[in-house]
Amino acid sequence: MSCSEDTARVLLQMHADKTYLAEEIAKGTEALKTEIQAVGNRMADLEAQVERVVKAYNAMVDSSDDLRAVEGLLEDLSNRSQGFNVRKRCMWKPIADVLRTKEIQFAWWHPFKLLAFRGSRMVVLQPGGDIAAFWRALDTEDPGLEIPQLMLTFTLPRLPRVWVSGADGDGEETRSTGDRQGHRKL
């Protein structure tokens, strides 16, 4: 074989290898595009599901807040009943007994609160309050009592929504305002 035949054969082999590599790269690229598209579709579905869950949860929080407001109004009306107040105060009797033994003046307030007076200070304890902080503020040793469980109140937090949109992730950030108004662009 001559040098020119060897060169022609090498060039032909290089061309075949180049064609093979180009086809393999094209196949791999197409497979990668398909996978990326599938991941993008799954992410879009997940974001839509999360959005539905957040909206449903926030609607539940709004309803809960509305119910709590109605409950507060009803409590205000109920607190006007002397018998109802006495029943509530009975649940807090252990706390009142400690205040009496420590000779700390106290008063009941509306809606249901316990006001304690030590020197020139007034300390308020109400359902859901921090009883340990109450005793500390009165410079009194914590007797280990708890606020009756039936009196605890709580609020549900609203869920914020933050999404970054854009193909490369450098798009605009959209954030929920956390209220019933919807979204605003940042």
| Confidence category of residue 161, pLDDT binned at 50, 70, 90 | low
Residues 144, 91 share a domain: yes
Model pTM? 0.39
Q: What is the pLDDT of residues 42-94, one digit of tens each?
A: 999 999 999 999 999 998 988 888 888 887 777 666 656 655 566 677 788 88
Q: What is the pLDDT of residue 186?
A: 41
- Cα–Cα distance measured from residue 3 to residue 1, given in angstroms and rounded to the nearest whole number: 7
Tally of domains within the chain: 2
- The range of the structural domain enclosing residue 8 comes to 3-75+156-185
- For the domain that residue 97 is a member of, what is the CATH number? 3.30.250
Q: Indicate if 160 and 131 belong to the same structural domain.
A: no
Residue 185: partners with Cβ closer than 8 Å, 6 or more residues away: 172, 173, 174
- For residues 166 and 143, membership in a common domain is answered with no
Q: How many CB atoms lie within 10 A of CB 35?
A: 10
DSSP state of 88: H
| Pair (21, 59) in one structural domain | yes
| Judgement on whether residues 26 and 116 belong to the same structural domain of the protein | no
Q: Is residue 90 domain-shared with residue 123, that is, in the same domain?
A: yes
Give pLDDT, residue 151. Answer: 46
CA distance 40 to 43: 5
Residues 12 and 63 in one domain: yes
Distance from C-alpha of 138 to C-alpha of 86, rounded to nearest angstrom = 24
Looking at the structure, tell me whether residues 58 and 147 fall in a common domain: no
Asked if 11 and 55 sit in the same domain, the reply is: yes
Q: Are 54 and 35 members of one domain?
A: yes
